[in-house]
Amino acid sequence: MRPFLIAITLFLSVLTATAQIPNDKSVVKDSTGKIYSFMDWVDLVQKDYGIKAVDTKKPDTEFLLYKLSDEAIAAREARKKTFKVEDLPKPRETPFFKTGETFKMFKTTDINGNKIDLKAEKGKIIVLNFWFIDCPPCRKEIPDLNNLVDSFSKNENVLFIGVALDNRSSLKSFLENHPYKYRIIHEGKFLVQNYNINTYPTHLVVDQEGKIYFHTMGLAPNTVYWLTKSINEQVKKGEEKTASN
């Protein structure tokens, strides 16, 4: 299965002001012909580099990475100052789930051998991330997802579960250098097949009634914002329900 980069266009458009945006499979070179990895060119574009299609008639084939002038950097910084993540459109929904439908709960064990039974967690908010190690956008968002977990660390009614495609050994090795605070499930291919997921990362928020409240796929600049927003809305709903009883 291939990693897909969905909605990064919005983010890079703010930084580069160009209509043609590469994805994680695009060929990105500099003027010397050096080819850059996805992680490398994204980091450079966030600093003082721009990016443009080599052939505007075929904008998805090859891209040129180039150093921005001082004037271009100043213009980009001005755009960034007016950029608000909450003003961006809601991230694209997945074709794998439907908002409001009952989520098909599962039972398995995590990477440490502890049992996970989502049916037994009825009444809690379940936050799921389907991912794998060799997916660049999946790795890119881990620090932000860790911050998300920290922000709800005092709420026992919010569960964070990461369903990884990789085996236990590979994950153990990866997590030693890249801590990930979600509760990790290894070898989750059987789960992604159950839900027909083929795009990564895929995020899901299941409400206290076991229904799908929010779902999105790929890396967008406002993914974590919407995850946070969705969780907070469900937390508030739960508190209001408790107060009314």
Residue 1 has pLDDT above 50, yes or no: no
Residues 152, 231, single domain; the answer is: yes
For the chain, the residue count is 245
Residues 75, 125, single domain; the answer is: no
Is 193 among the domain residues?
yes
pLDDT single digits (tens) 55-97? 766 656 788 999 989 888 888 777 777 767 777 778 889 999 9
Nearest-Å Rg of the Cα atoms of the chain is 20
Is 99 among the domain residues?
no
Residues 169, 72, single domain; the answer is: no
Is 98 among the domain residues?
no
Is 19 among the domain residues?
yes
Report the number of distinct structural domains present in the chain: 2
CATH number (domain holding residue 208): 3.40.30.10
Average of per-residue pLDDT across 95-123: 96
Average of per-residue pLDDT across 184-194: 96
Q: Which residue has the tokens 């409400």?
A: 207
Which of helix, strand or coil describes residue 174? Answer: helix
Residues 148, 227, single domain; the answer is: yes
Is 223 among the domain residues?
yes
Q: Which residue has the tokens 């897909």?
A: 4
Is 3 among the domain residues?
no
Q: How many CB atoms lie within 10 A of CB 225?
A: 18
Residues 66, 153, single domain; the answer is: no
Residues 45, 114, single domain; the answer is: no
Give the range of the structural domain holding residue 238, as residue numbers without chain letter: 107-244
Last residue of a domain, one of 51, 83, 115: 83
Distance CA 174, CA 160 (A): 19
Percent of the chain at pLDDT > 70 equals 87
pLDDT single digits (tens) 8-32? 444 454 444 444 567 667 789 999 9
Residues 234, 128, single domain; the answer is: yes
Task: Report how far apart, in Å, the C-alpha atoms of 219 and of each of 8, 10, 142 are.
Answer: 6, 10, 11
Residues 123, 57, single domain; the answer is: no
Residues 51, 147, single domain; the answer is: no
Residues 79, 153, single domain; the answer is: no
Is 96 among the domain residues?
no
pLDDT of residue 4: 34
Do residues 142 and 222 lie in contact, with contact meaning Cβ atoms separated by under 8 Å? Answer: no
pLDDT of residue 200: 92
Residues 75, 118, single domain; the answer is: no
Residues 239, 150, single domain; the answer is: yes
